[in-house]
C-alpha cells in the first residue's frame, strides 16, 4: 500500500475545506467513504505541498485543500448521481452542461486519480482578507459562473468560478475572466509547477504528480487521531 498520511501531520498550517465530507458539493450530500473532513495524500505529495506552503506564507497566502484522496466508492456515487435524473442540487454547479454528459466531456472521471492519493484539488487564500463567510445550505446562491459576491462563499481568492464548477469557464485557460482572476489562476499553476504538479486543463483547481503509482484504493477517510 502507498505511504499515505494526513496532511495535518505534515503541515498543519495548510487550510482545509474537504467538500465531499459535507453537502456543499455538486452531488449535494456527503459522499460515501468521507467519514471525516480530512485531507489524506501520499507522503511525497504532502511534502511537496509543505514546500509550496513555505513559499506562500511569507507572502500572506496559503493553500486551501478542497479534495485529496478520494475512495473509489465515492467515484461510483458520482456516477450514480449523474444518472439519477435529479437536477435541483446540480444547477449551481453545471448550469450549462447536462449532468449525464459530464463524464463523457471529461469533467468527472470514471477512474479518478484522486483514488491513488496523488491528485489534489486546491485553491489560494489571502490570509489578511475577510474569509469568514460560511456556506448556508438554505440560501439560493447564483450558479458557479456568477460573480463571486453572488455565488456560494469559497473563503478564498476569486478564481473566476467556484470550486467544482463543471463548466467551460472553469477551464484553466478560459477567456471570460477579469485580469485579476487570470492572475490568480496563473499564480496557482506556477507555484504548483515549481514542485512538479501538473494542472488538469478543464479544472483550474485540479493538480496531480506525473509518474505516480496508479493503484486506486477503497479505504475510507477516518477521523485523525
Active site residues per annotation: 203
Strand blocks (E) in 34-140: 40-42, 61-67, 119-126
Three-state SS string across the chain, please? CCCEEEHHHHCCCCEECCHHHCCCCCCCCCCCCECCCCCEEEHHHHHHHHHHHHHHHHHCEEEEEEECCCCHHHHHHHHHHHCCCCCCCCCCCCCCCCHHHCCCCCCCCCCCHHHHCCEEEEEEEECCCCCCCCCCCCCCCECCCCCCCCECCCCCCCCCCCCCCCCHHHCCCCCCCCHHHHHHHHHHHHHHHCCCCEEECCEEEEEECCCCCCCCCCCCECCCC
Which three cell numbers mark 205? 483547481
Amino acid at each position: 500500500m502507498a505511504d499515505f498520511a494526513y496532511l495535518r501531520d505534515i503541515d498543519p498550517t495548510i487550510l482545509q475545506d474537504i467538500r465531499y465530507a459535507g453537502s456543499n458539493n455538486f452531488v449535494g450530500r456527503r459522499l460515501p467513504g468521507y467519514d471525516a473532513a480530512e485531507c489524506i495524500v501520499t507522503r511525497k505529495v504532502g511534502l511537496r505541498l509543505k514546500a509550496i506552503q513555505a513559499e506562500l506564507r511569507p507572502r500572506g497566502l496559503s493553500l486551501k485543500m478542497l479534495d485529496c484522496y478520494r475512495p473509489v466508492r465515492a467515484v461510483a456515487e458520482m456516477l450514480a448521481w449523474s444518472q439519477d435524473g435529479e437536477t435541483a442540487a446540480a444547477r449551481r454547479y453545471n448550469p450549462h452542461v447536462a449532468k449525464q454528459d459530464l463524464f463523457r466531456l471529461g469533467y468527472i472521471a470514471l477512474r479518478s486519480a484522486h483514488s491513488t492519493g496523488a491528485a489534489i484539488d486546491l485553491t489560494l487564500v489571502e490570509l489578511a482578507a475577510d474569509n469568514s463567510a460560511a456556506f448556508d445550505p438554505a440560501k439560493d446562491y447564483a450558479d458557479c459562473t456568477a460573480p463571486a459576491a453572488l455565488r456560494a462563499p469559497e473563503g478564498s481568492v476569486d478564481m473566476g468560478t467556484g470550486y467544482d464548477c463543471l463548466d467551460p469557464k472553469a477551464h484553466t485557460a478560459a477567456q471570460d475572466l477579469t485580469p485579476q482572476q487570470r492572475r490568480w489562476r496563473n499564480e496557482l499553476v506556477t507555484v504548483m509547477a515549481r514542485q512538479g504538479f501538473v494542472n488538469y486543463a478543464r479544472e483550474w483547481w485540479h493538480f496531480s504528480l506525473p509518474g505516480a503509482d496508479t493503484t486506486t484504493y477503497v479505504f475510507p477517510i477516518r477521523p485523525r487521531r
